[in-house]
Structure 1
Amino acid sequence: MTLTRTALALLASLTVATAQADAPKADVPGSADHPVLKRFTGSLLVGYAQQEWEQRSFPDASGVSKTEDKFNRPVNVEGKVTRLYYLAPLGKSPLEVFRNYQQALTAAGFKPTWGCESEAQGCTKAYFAIDGYERGKGMRWAEGDLPAADSAHRGSTWALPMALSYDQARMTVGTLTSGGRTLNLLLFTSMAENEHTNRAATYIEIVEPKAMPTGQVTVDAKAIGQGLQAEGKVALYGLLFDTGKTDIKPESGKQLDQMAAVLKAQPALKVLIVGHTDNVGSIDANLALSQGRAQSVVAALAQRGIAANRLQARGVANFAPVAANGSEDGRAKNRRVEMVLQ
């Protein structure tokens, strides 16, 4: 039986519709745009991950290597990491998507460090330097694949996860100040997998400065004893306080138990309990705060059976930093209590 031209056209349209049904139809459950950068209109957020504290590698102003597919001088940045992968509406070009992001970022005060818009400028090398396999680890993905949109490849589909390419690739990297914080941002736009999908894909990575959560590791009695013997002091980050408060938090119990254990094992040992702060606030306020925290630790050790004449509390505010106070992570390291041999 010979099919009419109208029937063939109808059959073709039904086949394309079936292929299109395989494409994602909704965002990844539980995902959301980052507050500082909204999506290109009509896009779906089909890949998403967020880590409260991690390290990521960004290119510096020298961009990519001239001889290898990697960043020339990668810069490691640490903090809260958000990774997002968007699919633009069918038919939107990578250039249109990239220019819209570029315009929005510029209006928000984005300061580019490096970027590319062609192979000659390093975009192909940037694609390989991003390393989709590594960047995609731990991301959650929407249901669906990337079907071909052209009739010549009807029925073909490609896997969705990190389906970037160097076809029409563009990239920008830099910093954006928001809410008093400087965020590091990487944005890469290209065809999604290849030209046959007729979709643009955008991968965005945003790192917000954030102090590493501390107090998650308890220094045991053996390590405390070794530290005191080797250096005459040991820093204890398992002693926790609310901001601006001197009352020791219940989560500090395990660390206090280990401190008491080493003192009970060495009855002749006498120590100073020294409180330290970061440089936020006045010197007088920080002296009072550090002294109050040291006294709280002494009181908690006394409750565990350590004689008061073996303990002295001292607060030294921010006079003895162990890191620069210019970053949140540095300030977190400076907020500590130390046991020091008398």
Structure 2
Amino acid sequence: MLHRSMLAALLLAAFTAHAAPGADLPGAADHPLIKRFAGSWLAGQRVADWDAAAVPAAPEYQKADKYKFKELVELEGKVTQTVYIAPRGKAALEVWRNYQQALNAAGFKPRFVCERDCSDLYFAWTRQLQPTKGFVWAKGDVDTPTGSRYSLTSALAHDDGRMLVGTLGKPGQQATVLLYTSLAANATTGLVATYVQVIEPKAMATGQVTVDPAALQAGLAAEGRVTLTGLFFDTGRTELKPESQAQLDAMAELLKSQPALKAWIVGHTDNVGGFEANEKLSLARAQAVVAALTAAPYKVDARRLTARGLASLAPVAGNGDEAGRAKNRRVELVAQ
């Protein structure tokens, strides 16, 4: 079964070469923070210079659906995903303990660790967050001593699986790490697979998109609303980030050119977390946009703008993966 990852392709740089069994993927390398288990080969790697990613906040699921986490940590920055296959004859626990000890020695701060009965955690992780979707896998197989073969796309398994999530690095420069080890495919291979995901804080390159007030007007004319893709907030926060200025400039110019236009500024979230909290977050973000437009230098008449928050009530995509959730986290301009 092909397990797929949570990451939407935004500013993606990924390795496209293939590796023969036992040989590292050409051009790929260990992440500087975490070296491989001795003798392992690097079977696949994906590197996004800047992207969105999510990891479980705790190994707990919604009561109505054990394959949906109660809470996720949603992050943005440089994202590196790497999969290794350890040499035959090594036990999954031996591989796990070596990674765990090395991380702890480097100052790793665990958010949670699962070492026993982690199958449900594995299924929640692979089904909700889909860790290897779009993954650049090596072209090859995981073989068994008897000659049977399994595709590398099925290397991560629930058999003898263990997971940890936490942070590593100096305050203000802490990377989030997710480590998962398991038998490679199943017990017949005699091999162990390790998945390492490192999400490093990094500012997104700005100034790559310009916002045209005419495009805003076209959206309003066509549908009565337009998504404001140039507004940016940190995860869980309500303060507009500085790179939102181009979008605010365009909105102010549109409102100035149409003095009779009155609008709703409507905040939306994905369905991660409690509804009441998301309702407050979506409203507060809409209010932050109204506050920015009615203050200097724009000074739009406050009577022309009304903030509303709809939480997850009006999705434009499914919330089953990060790509859909990213589309649902938005602010819209709606003509009254």
> TM-score w.r.t. structure 2 length?
0.57
- Give the equivalent residue in structure 2 for 1:213: 205
Whether 1:137 and 2:133 are equivalent positions in the alignment is yes
- Give the equivalent residue in structure 2 for 1:118: 116
Q: Secondary structure, in 3 states, of the residue corresponding to 1:214?
A: coil
Separation of aligned partners in 2, 1:126 and 1:84: 20
Cα contact 1:56–1:77 (8 A) shared by 2: yes
Q: Secondary structure, in 3 states, of the residue corresponding to 1:90?
A: coil
Distance 1:339 1:24, change over 3 A: farther
Determine what percentage of the aligned residue pairs are the same residue.
46
- Give the alignment partner of residue 107 of structure 2, picking from 105, 109, 124: 109
Q: Secondary structure, in 3 states, of the residue corresponding to 1:216?
A: coil
- Give the equivalent residue in structure 2 for 1:46: 43
Cα contact 2:83–2:193 (8 A) shared by 1: yes
Higher helix share: 1
Q: Secondary structure, in 3 states, of the residue corresponding to 1:203?
A: strand
Separation of aligned partners in 2, 1:223 and 1:156: 57
Separation of aligned partners in 1, 2:215 and 2:140: 52
Amino acid across the alignment from 2:99 = Y
Provide, for residues 222-244 of structure 1, a one-character-per-residue CA deviation record: whole Å limited to 9, x for no partner. 26899xxxxxxx9x99xxxxxxx
Provide, for residues 19-72 of structure 1, a one-character-per-residue CA deviation record: whole Å limited to 9, x for no partner. xxx971211111111110100001011010011222222111454456612323
Amino acid across the alignment from 1:124 = S
Q: Which has the higher contact order (CA 8 A, sep 6+)?
A: 2
- Give the equivalent residue in structure 1 for 2:298: 340
Cα contact 1:62–1:73 (8 A) shared by 2: no
Amino acid across the alignment from 1:134 = Q
Separation of aligned partners in 1, 2:170 and 2:190: 34
Cα contact 1:70–1:125 (8 A) shared by 2: no
Provide, for residues 272-323 of structure 1, a one-character-per-residue CA deviation record: whole Å limited to 9, x for no partner. xxxxxxxxxxxxxxxxxxxxxxxxxxxxxxxxxxxxxxxxxxxxxxxxxx99
Separation of aligned partners in 2, 1:183 and 1:85: 18
Amino acid across the alignment from 1:117 = E
Q: Secondary structure, in 3 states, of the residue corresponding to 2:25?
A: coil
Amino acid across the alignment from 2:122 = Y
Query: Which ranges of structure 1 fall in alignment gaps of 5 or more residues?
Result: 1-21, 227-233, 238-254, 267-321, 324-333
Cα contact 1:116–1:170 (8 A) shared by 2: yes
Separation of aligned partners in 2, 1:208 and 1:28: 22
Q: Secondary structure, in 3 states, of the residue corresponding to 1:131?
A: helix
Cα contact 1:176–1:183 (8 A) shared by 2: yes
How many residues matched?
Answer: 222
Q: Which runs of 4+ in 1 moved over 6 A?
A: none
Which deviates more, 84-93 or 69-78?
69-78
Separation of aligned partners in 1, 2:298 and 2:183: 60
Aligned ranges for residues 50-89 of structure 1 at < 5 Å?
A: 50-61=47-58, 63-64=60-61, 68-89=66-87
Separation of aligned partners in 2, 1:62 and 1:137: 21
The root-mean-square deviation of aligned C-alpha atoms, in Å, is 3.7
Shift of the alpha carbon at 1:340? 3.1
- Give the equivalent residue in structure 2 for 1:11: none
Whether 1:181 and 2:173 are equivalent positions in the alignment is yes
Amino acid across the alignment from 1:43 = S
